[in-house]
Amino acid sequence: MLRTGQLESIAFFEQSLQKAKACSKRFICKVEKIMNIHPLSVYHFYHELGLTERFYWSNQENSLILTGIGTLVPFHHSTEEQYSAIEKEWKRFGDEVYIEQENCFGTGPLALGGFSFFDTYKNDQDWKEFGTAHFYVPRLMVTVTNEGTFITSNYEINDQTSLEDLLLQYKEYDDYLEQYGMKQPTFTQSECIDKDEFEPDEWVQSVKNAIQQMKDEHLEKVVLNRTLNATFSSEVNSSKVIYELEATRNVNYVITYQLKDTVFISATPERLISKKKNTVSSMCLAGSAAKGKSKEENAEASSWLLNSKKNNDEHAFVVNYIKETLRHYCDNLSIPSLPRIMATKSLFHLYTPVEGSLLNHITLFELIQALHPTPALGGFPKDEACKLIRELEPIDRGWYGAPIGWIDLNGNGDFAVGIRSALVKGDKARLYAGCGVVQDSKPEEEFYETGVKFLPMLNALGGLRNER
């Protein structure tokens, strides 16, 4: 067997089943440290287990990689109370699962998933499976950390569940990992054969309308998103997309969330909030400039960005908002007084890290709800900006710009915002990109900036190799 020995596995399940039934538990979780498993291989061959859901997560620091396949328990909502609803269901699951011992960060039972940008849809056809919130506890999960590689396997039990039932399920997982856990995926090359930027002239006009409203009303910033529809020569393979994004990553997350035949993919550089014990981390990311083609051009672009009044004002909205929001939940907030440069593949961003010590009894879901959307994704003031977004954007944002991530039963977790993203189904993808609009924004420049933001994802999907 690839993992623990047979006698040890028998002893674990025999003891766990007995204790779980005695405590009226419905689930059992087993965590093991192993070697020679690659998370992308486990992700790619998920269909060999007859599963239809999968999740891939590689964090910004590249210090944690997660792959979760198959659904043990789903949490799915299309309500306006999605945050509290998911939190209640997650707490209920925690009361129903038997865990033998405390596990290291990023292992054990995790809820993987995310929320929609808004709590209602105009037309949810594209996002029907995702709803306003969708999470699941995976049946099988690989975690790669600085401490090693771990397998978490989760099992549902009832009064009739026998030791043989659990051992049979365990053997199925073990056989899968042994056969496919290090097997190299093979990919067919898919090329972009058609792309259509949705109503570009109308989008530029919407930026002009937003600028005019800022002059007439109490609105300082709004973030407007636009979309690009792309068709490819064959079905887009999300494993290949992950491979491409990982190969070119620097400071971004790599995230996929697949339900049935639809997958949301994000290469976001932006964390919303993470929690580890009582320490929380967030970031302010707003204000950007395209990278150049030489060191000299890059130095000039980053210097211009650091000194741009428009971009610094835009960044200040985010810093002030996150500071004022988190001070109600944290002690000892640490926020540098000046932004620094973050360089992604195609852009420079103004970046300010945030860290604090969490007050007692504050949950990660509470922090997510309080922060989302920050002025980097919605605008400022929040309510007025979101109202204008609903008026000016013709296509639902869905999970674009919304919180996506994971949480454990101790309330630790990490959530990013789903920008630099695409919704993929078959050979078609819809890409999303946005920009912050303030009074002195120039619509044509904002259009160009969003075009640059499309490129990394478009290329990873199988797009235009000659574009930066």
Q: Is residue 187 part of a domain?
A: no
Confidence tier at 464 by pLDDT (50, 70, 90): low
Query: Does residue 97 sit in the same domain as residue 242?
Result: no
Q: Are residue 224 and residue 282 in the same domain, yes or no?
A: yes
Query: Pick the residue with more confidence: 94 or 125?
Result: 94
* Chosen domain end from 132, 154, 180: 180
pTM: 0.94
Instruction: Mark whether 457 and 378 lie in a shared domain.
Output: yes
The angle subtended at Cα 203 by Cα 200 and Cα 206, nearest 5°, is 160
Greatest C-alpha distance within the chain: 74
Residues 165 and 283 in one domain: no
Closest CA to 253 of 364, 414, 366, 130: 414
How many of the other CB atoms lie within 10 Å of CB of 403? 27
* Catalytic-role residue among 270, 314, 393, 446: 270
Domain of 76 in residue numbering reads as 6-180
pLDDT at 51: 94
| Residue at which a domain ends, from 115, 149, 180 | 180
pLDDT at 67: 98
pLDDT over 60 (residue 179) = yes
Q: Residue 20: what pLDDT? A: 97
- The closest alpha carbon to 113, from 145, 152, 83, 80, belongs to 83
Whether the predicted pLDDT of 468 surpasses 80: no
> Do 291 and 349 fall into the same domain?
yes
Note whether 106 and 160 are same-domain residues: yes
Q: Would 188 be classed as within a structural domain?
A: no
Structure tokens at 372: 């989302």
Q: What average pLDDT is seen over the chain? A: 93
CA angle 258–262–264, rounded 5-degree value:
60
pLDDT tens for each residue of 207-220 = 999 999 998 888 99
Compute and round to an integer the Cα radius of gyration of the chain.
23
Closest CA to 43 of 53, 33, 34, 35: 53
Examine the pLDDT at 460 and tell me if it is beyond 90: yes
Identify the CATH number of the domain in which residue 203 sits.
Answer: 3.60.120.10
Output the CA angle 153-159-160, nearest 5 degrees: 85
User: Average pLDDT of 335-357?
Assistant: 93
Same domain for 403 and 278 = yes
Residue 221 annotated as catalytic: yes
For the stretch 415-424, pLDDT in tens is: 999 999 999 9
Q: Mean pLDDT over residues 135-162, rounded?
A: 96
Would you say 322 and 374 are in contact if contact means Cβ atoms under 8 Å apart?
A: yes
Backbone angles phi, psi at 340, to 5 degrees: -120, 180
Residue 377 has pLDDT above 70, yes or no: yes
- Residues 257 and 74: their CA atoms lie apart, in Å, by 13
Q: Looking at the domain assignment, is residue 352 inside a domain? A: yes
What is the spatial distance between Cα 395 and Cα 146, in angstroms, rounded to a whole number? 41
207, 115: one domain: no
Query: Which of 116, 151, 180 is where one domain is finished?
Result: 180
Question: Which residues lie closer than 8 Å to 320 by C-beta, 6 or more apart?
Answer: none
Q: What is the pLDDT of residues 208-265, one digit of tens each?
A: 999 999 988 889 999 999 999 999 999 999 999 999 999 888 778 999 999 999 999 9
Nearest-angstrom CA–CA distance, 4 and 48: 22
* Domain assignment present for 295: yes
Query: Per-residue pLDDT for 271 more than 80?
Result: yes
pLDDT at site 65: 97
Do 104 and 208 reside in the same domain of the chain?
no
What is the percentage of the chain residues whose pLDDT exceeds 90? 83
Q: Side chain identity at 342, as an amino acid letter?
A: M
Q: Which residues contact 270 (CB under 8 A, 6 or more apart)?
A: 283, 285, 376, 416, 417, 419
**Total number of domains constituting the chain:** 2
147 falls within a domain: yes
The rounded percent of the chain whose pLDDT value lies above 70 is 98
For residues 393 and 190, the model is more confident at 393
99 and 221 both lie in a single domain: no
Distance between CA atoms of residues 283 and 304, nearest Å: 21
Whether residue 467 is contained in a domain is answered as no
Q: Do 287 and 395 fall into the same domain?
A: yes
Residue 186 lies in a domain: no
Do residue 225 and residue 84 come from a single domain?
no
DSSP letter (8 states) at residue 318: H
pLDDT reported for residue 300? 95
In contact, 71 and 1? CB cutoff 8 Å? no
pLDDT of 466 > 60? The answer is no
The conformation of residue 4, written as its DSSP 8-state character, comes to S
Catalytic: which of 53, 87, 220, 221? 221
Within a domain: residue 189? no
- The Cα-based distances of 189 to 64, 195, 231, 362, 428 in angstroms read 28, 17, 14, 47, 15
pLDDT at 467: 46
